[in-house]
Structure 1
């Protein structure tokens, strides 16, 4: 019998007490998300050594993320044909191959092309990994999201640091480094993740697009697109404003990524519990817009840009967790479909932003991309307000489920039989959990 926690309440299950299979997928997620920020420290080096303009170099983000976005549309169908585990393994194998090929290339067009192939594998992996973690993790849906966002934060934090260290040796190094680490993740997933049966019914490639008919999912995904425009404007073009070498850039984005990870895991749930999802997101979207405006105004001051980029990690971490949770919570479609729909919309915005920033900076000035991005992110807050009621309702449902679950746990700890009303509430909570688990499995 587990002793009750302070004040008579049992401690909630830790999101970090997980089966080995979940840890294997989480490790692969870390390596996958390394690929997002891995190229940041070497962007200026690629520009100078390959005689490419900044906007050409930012195509490394655009090709990667736009292909990821469109590939999200087929992830559900592929998973229904191959099964979740095989889809994970295929996605990881594609990343290994194209990361290694990018390392062999000595032309900007070649690297951009191989990054596109990398994006295909990334889409297959990201959409399936989230569904696998949600379906397999202990500690419930919220705990699974926290674990997923922790992996995202650690990957984003360590990716630039690895890219800086290896990129200081050669710009080929970061690509080979990811290929090796992804191969390790491939082996871990192949050996530790149990085989999963194929769904009884195959998914349609049109399901993620059809899901956009639902206003709540559509508008929250559009918020993600507008927010990611600002996010990747920072990630994709800010390195050119700092005038640092590869290792120095790696440490700047490492500090940024640490804030992403810590605020994602610890601060986002705390704010959500106290002021709710929509109010937290309004404040954080406004804060991201303010950071973008600061960079835009003082774009010619490397010190200001460096500090602003690092500080933005706090707001990025909170937004990443809560927007992902919001999409999954208010979606009327199965979570794998919701994940694919959201990924398609948000990565499309994230992919176009760095290239647009490069073009605007070259044809106008370096201030314009960031001022525009600030306006775009603020627009995201207005779009989000259209689903305020749905987000509040999802928060209330989660609070009610947790509350009834805690009451049942207290009775079990104290060995006191529940009365009829408590039994009904416990049974209702059990049915909710079963439905959520069934949706996650589908």
Structure 2
């Protein structure tokens, strides 16, 4: 048996994890469902609550702004009360505010409660990645694959569930989140066990100082502009599609499935063969091209559906590459690096939905996609001109990519 074959045969399966990892991963699926859950019901909310498209898009903005800003303090909180307590507080807040969204009688109320939901989301997501990386068997690469699988599954199932429940009532998806997050809360409370790690309280300024690290700053800037493209595709597209809740849900289910497939299987194999920055410099321009095509074919619902699903395939590669890059960018604790990066990333996403709606009404349905394409080109430029400062990321990710590919090949064997 060759050394390479032996390495593959001994590679731990990404799917063979402790119960506590599966508990957090399940909660991640539900948390990420919350991002796309309201997608299919945006037109229904606008109609039922007499809201304009711009007001309706603020459901994303309030959620993402608070998520982004709260990310800056989550590592400070979790270093004092512990990862498990932080996860449970985050999940509990999501349950409470999702319920308030479901019983709201005005769009302003839903916008406000989505902001509270964003706080819970920040506490949970920033801590979940560090928890999975710390507890998963198979090293950080296997953990990132599992995390991205949870992200992809959640983003895929969210719009589908939103479409199914949204056919009954726009309140249905919110009640669905309440039930699923309550189950996730119980799973984490019961299954996340083990010796309590020694807590090392982090200074409040840690995430802010982290953004002063050149490599992390470049990746955060990249994610800022990339997420404008991501959330234009996700949050604005339901309006020009013109479908009902189920049609929108099925469209974005296909988008999410594509994202999950490429993030879990395609991206690790690309990262094994190419430098991480090379993968990003291929995928980001492809996403910009897809968005530009969407701008010109926006009047055709079928063609726009194809662009949305193709976009999902590219997004999966970018998401995994950026996540691996952030984990390797600095010698800071992963929770600090993740919080600082995610804060900037979500703020980029918060800008896109209302800006896209404003551009739509002022200039036409194709212009928001042009804006998104330009933003993704800027993200590509951040990687291109910052590549020298990311050289250590290219070098350190190679071993992790080999490990991740071995894990996937071992699973398939």
In structure 2, distance between residues paired with 1:21 and 1:232: 31
Closer, same or farther: CA 337–303 of 1 in aligned 2, 3 Å? same
Closer, same or farther: CA 190–303 of 1 in aligned 2, 3 Å? same
Q: How far is 1:342 from its partner?
A: 0.6
Closer, same or farther: CA 329–49 of 1 in aligned 2, 3 Å? same
Q: How far is 1:396 from its partner?
A: 3.0
SS in 2 for 1:213: coil
Could you tell me which residue of structure 1 aligns to residue 295 of structure 2? 296
Q: More displaced, 348-357 or 392-401?
A: 392-401
In structure 2, distance between residues paired with 1:16 and 1:403: 17
SS in 2 for 1:169: coil
Q: Does 1:325 align with 2:324?
A: yes
8 Å contact kept, 1:237–1:357: yes
SS in 1 for 2:147: helix
In structure 1, distance between residues paired with 2:357 and 2:404: 51
8 Å contact kept, 1:227–1:376: yes
SS in 2 for 1:109: helix
Structure 1 gap ranges (5+): 407-442
Could you tell me which residue of structure 2 aligns to residue 166 of structure 1? 165
Closer, same or farther: CA 32–226 of 1 in aligned 2, 3 Å? same
Q: Does 1:136 align with 2:135?
A: yes
Q: How far is 1:8 from its partner?
A: 4.5
Query: C-alpha offsets along residues 338-370 of structure 1, whole Å, 9 cap, x if unaligned?
Result: 000011000000011111111111222222211
Closer, same or farther: CA 400–172 of 1 in aligned 2, 3 Å? closer
Listed as ranges, the matches of 1:9-408 within 5 Å are 9-11=7-9, 12-194=11-193, 197=196, 199-400=198-399
8 Å contact kept, 2:269–2:401: no
Q: How far is 1:56 from its partner?
A: 0.8
In structure 2, distance between residues paired with 1:389 and 1:375: 23
Q: How far is 1:101 from its partner?
A: 0.7
Q: How far is 1:405 from its partner?
A: 13
Closer, same or farther: CA 96–283 of 1 in aligned 2, 3 Å? same
Query: C-alpha offsets along residues 233-271 of structure 1, whole Å, 9 cap, x if unaligned?
Result: 111110001111111111100011000101000000111
| TM-score between the two structures when normalised by the length of structure 1 | 0.88
Structure possessing the higher radius of gyration over alpha carbons: 1
Structure 2 gap ranges (5+): 406-413
In structure 2, distance between residues paired with 1:401 and 1:181: 33
In structure 1, distance between residues paired with 2:164 and 2:7: 47
Q: More displaced, 298-307 or 237-246?
A: 298-307
Closer, same or farther: CA 382–20 of 1 in aligned 2, 3 Å? same
Q: CA RMSD for the aligned pairs?
A: 1.9
Q: How far is 1:45 from its partner?
A: 0.9
Query: C-alpha offsets along residues 12-50 of structure 1, whole Å, 9 cap, x if unaligned?
Result: 222111000000000000000000000010011111121
Closer, same or farther: CA 404–104 of 1 in aligned 2, 3 Å? closer
In structure 2, distance between residues paired with 1:293 and 1:111: 32
Q: How far is 1:400 from its partner?
A: 4.8
Closer, same or farther: CA 83–226 of 1 in aligned 2, 3 Å? same
Closer, same or farther: CA 10–280 of 1 in aligned 2, 3 Å? closer
Closer, same or farther: CA 194–358 of 1 in aligned 2, 3 Å? same
Q: How far is 1:125 from its partner?
A: 0.1
Closer, same or farther: CA 405–25 of 1 in aligned 2, 3 Å? closer
8 Å contact kept, 1:85–1:196: no
| TM-score between the two structures when normalised by the length of structure 2 | 0.94
8 Å contact kept, 1:80–1:199: no
Q: More displaced, 390-399 or 162-171?
A: 390-399
In structure 1, distance between residues paired with 2:381 and 2:206: 27
Closer, same or farther: CA 112–396 of 1 in aligned 2, 3 Å? same
SS in 2 for 1:283: helix
Could you tell me which residue of structure 1 aligns to residue 411 of structure 2? none
